[in-house]
Amino acid sequence: MSTTQPGPVRMTRQRVAVADALQGVDEFRSAQQLHEVLRSRGDAVGLATVYRTLQALVDGGDVDVLRTDDGESLYRWCVRREHHHHLVCRECGRTVEIDGPTVEAWAAMVGTEHGFSEIVHTVELWGTCRDCRGA
């Protein structure tokens, strides 16, 4: 059996552009939004490349993903790489990174209590932020 060799990762204009569009923004953004932002910024990147780059960033642990109720994936370059959750504004995507020590323990306990192994939990909080409330 042979494992696929990692292979060097090239620093391309597109990858820099996508990473740059995510960094410094504290909102979750969809691939389509990022694609549009880059286009209007005059630094166009193919949509497929945006998706491919985002996936790589997620795999590398630099970016977090979550899915909206209607199945769209949203991406965000989170400050902390450790496990955490999000409080996301349903209007603008603004996000606050949070952690819930109690929740972690509870999830693990409930899981094993029922004979389940390899427990993974998804905890996301959605709300309307102060700024969007007025709108």
Residue ranges that bind a second copy, judged by CB under 8 A: 67, 71, 87, 89, 96, 98, 100, 102-103, 106-107, 110-111, 114-130, 133
Task: Record the tokens describing residue 116, joined without a space.
Answer: 């389940």
Cβ neighbours around 63 below 10 Å, total: 21
Binding status of residue 71 toward DNA by CB under 7 A: yes
Q: Which listed option, a second copy, DNA, none, makes contact with residue 124 (CB within 5 to 8 Å by class)?
A: a second copy
Binding status of residue 13 toward DNA by CB under 7 A: yes
Q: Which listed option, DNA, a second copy, none, makes contact with residue 114 (CB within 5 to 8 Å by class)?
A: a second copy
Size of the site for DNA (CB under 7 A): 28
Q: Is residue 134 left, alpha or beta, with left meaning phi > 0 and alpha meaning psi from -120 to 50?
A: alpha
Binding status of residue 46 toward DNA by CB under 7 A: yes
Residue whose pair of structure tokens reads 């939004």 in the numeric block: 33
Specify the 3-state DSSP secondary structure of 95.
strand
Of 37, 6, 11, whose CA–CA distance to 23 is shortest?
37
Residues that bind DNA (CB under 7 A): 5, 7-15, 30-32, 44-49, 51-53, 55, 67, 70-73
